[in-house]
Amino acid sequence: MDQVSDATAQPSGRRPAAEFADTPWLDPAARPFIDVRGVTKKFGDFVAVDDVDLQIYRGELFCLLGASGCGKSTLLRMLAGFEAATGGQILIDGTDMAGIAPYERPVNMMFQSYALFPHMTVESNVAFGLKQERVPRGEIRDRVAEALQLVQLSAFAKRKPHQLSGGQRQRVALARSLVKRPKVLLLDEPLGALDKKLREQTQFELMNIQDEVGITFVVVTHDQEEAMTLSTRIAVMNQGRISQVGTPSEIYEFPGNRFVADFIGSINLLEGRVAYETDDFVAVLCPELESELRIDHGPSVQEGQKVWVAIRPEKIAIRPDSGGALPAGNAVRGVVEGLGYLGSETIYRVRLDGNGDGGAAGGRMIEATAPNLTRSARRAVDWDDPVVLTWDSAAGVVLTS
């Protein structure tokens, strides 16, 4: 606790104002706890991390999300001190980390492979970090017991790592990295080695533990569901750069560019040009659709500009085509070409009618999902049915890049 309370004594590390308690990144007066400034890492000619700026605040559970090879792990290893940045600066709690060795940093890391010491018991594994700090023996005993209790492994203290299951090993690794009460805990794919059921359960445990200890967590993951569940904020990384930073719902509902929109969840991306703009909406004409697209609150766009409209499948309503005219905007006709029953919901893949030429093949495919609200075995919409897809003008997002 010493490190943490020292930090709170500094004026800039003060507790965030009450209104920003859960969203410190919105507080204009808050100083970032981890400040990554223009950091670049090159391995030979390969640029793993490319001029990244990132601010993470105290108490956040921050996720670095990206496909493998996007530089997220390299960034994490630079925070831990295992890699030195080729350029830029990393500050943790106001201190420049350049030239500070891993064993002198106020951060601890939980490794993807857990990296438990096979020749030590669970207890000695957890005590290892405290012994390096020359903490008195009695205190080590108490803190180890406390950490093991936190992860519910008190009964396994005398076991060796190979006598534990995967989930138990994961929790030993967590206890070992938490027991030193670091300023920042780095977690590299913390749930990657667990099976699906255990992973979901552990996600919530991890959140509870973070809440309890109040340490800033930085998590690296390639699993978007994990990132969405866990984080206060997510940074989506692509090819060494940060594509977007935001809360899970910001990332999902307001993706900043096509990469993020496509990477997170499934989405329909429609290319078109801005036709006109009113006070209420932007109208986009898309060559693949009959009707125009109307979208609320876009970014400022110019007439004729090339844009993409992104619409999530679950925001599209599907109903059988009963003939008659379509509404003025945000409605298309098509035929169900694919149908996936997932239990909780059904995915429809709908082939759109061509652009006004009476249903020529080769129209665009649009994906829509609908929750299965009743247990009825008979579907309202089935294979090869003509359907109408409609959506609200608030459903889509205009992307310019």
Q: Which residues bind other proteins (CB under 8 A)?
A: 80-82, 101-103, 107-109, 111-113, 115-119, 128-129, 132-133, 160, 162-165, 167-168, 176-177, 180
Give the C-alpha separation, 36 to 91, whole Å.
6
**Inter-CA distances, 84 with 81, 89, 271, Å:** 7, 10, 42
Only one residue has tokens 């959140």, namely: 207
User: Looking at beta carbons only, is 163 or 355 nearer to other proteins?
Assistant: 163
Least distance from other proteins to the Cβ atom of residue 322, Å:
54
3-state secondary structure of 288: coil
Question: Is the Cβ of residue 133 or residue 384 nearer to other proteins in the bound state?
Answer: 133
CB of 34 to other proteins, least distance (A): 16
Rounded alpha-carbon distances, angstroms, from residue 190 to 17, 65, 105, 197: 31, 13, 20, 15
Which of 104/280 has CB closer to other proteins? 104
Which pairs from 28-31 meet CB under 8 Å and 24+ separation? 30/57, 31/94
CB of 350 to other proteins, least distance (A): 44
Shortest Å, Cβ 152 to other proteins: 9
The smaller minimum CB distance to other proteins, of residues 31 and 176, is found at: 176
For tokens 């899970």, what's the residue?
A: 248
Q: Report in angstroms how near the CB of residue 189 gets to other proteins at its nearest.
A: 12
CA dihedral for 191, 196, 198, 204, sign (positive or negative): positive
User: Shortest distance, CB of residue 110 to other proteins, whole angstroms?
Assistant: 9
Radius of gyration in angstroms for the set of CA atoms belonging to the chain, rounded to a whole number: 25
For the chain, what is the largest distance between any 2 Cα atoms, rounded to a whole number of angstroms?
Answer: 82
Select 93 or 385, whichever has its Cβ closest to other proteins: 93
- One-letter amino acid of 32: P
Are 246 and 254 a contacting pair, CB within 8 Å?
Answer: yes
**43: how many CB neighbours lie within 10 A of its CB?**
11
Contacts of 354 (CB under 8 A, 6+ apart): 360, 361, 362, 363
The smaller minimum CB distance to other proteins, of residues 117 and 341, is found at 117
Residue with Cβ nearer other proteins (89 or 165): 165
Q: How far is the CB of 380 from other proteins (least distance, A)?
A: 43
CA 257 to chain centre: 15
Encoded tokens for 232: 């206060």
Least distance CB 179 / other proteins (angstroms):
9
**Pairing of the two strands 306-311 and 396-399:** antiparallel
Cα distance between residue 233 and residue 40, in whole Å: 22
Distance of closest approach, residue 140 Cβ to other proteins, in angstroms? 13
Considering only CA atoms, which of 150, 398, 77 is closest in space to residue 255? 398
Q: Which is nearer to other proteins, 180 or 183 (CB)?
A: 180
* Residue among 168 and 346 whose Cβ is closer to other proteins: 168
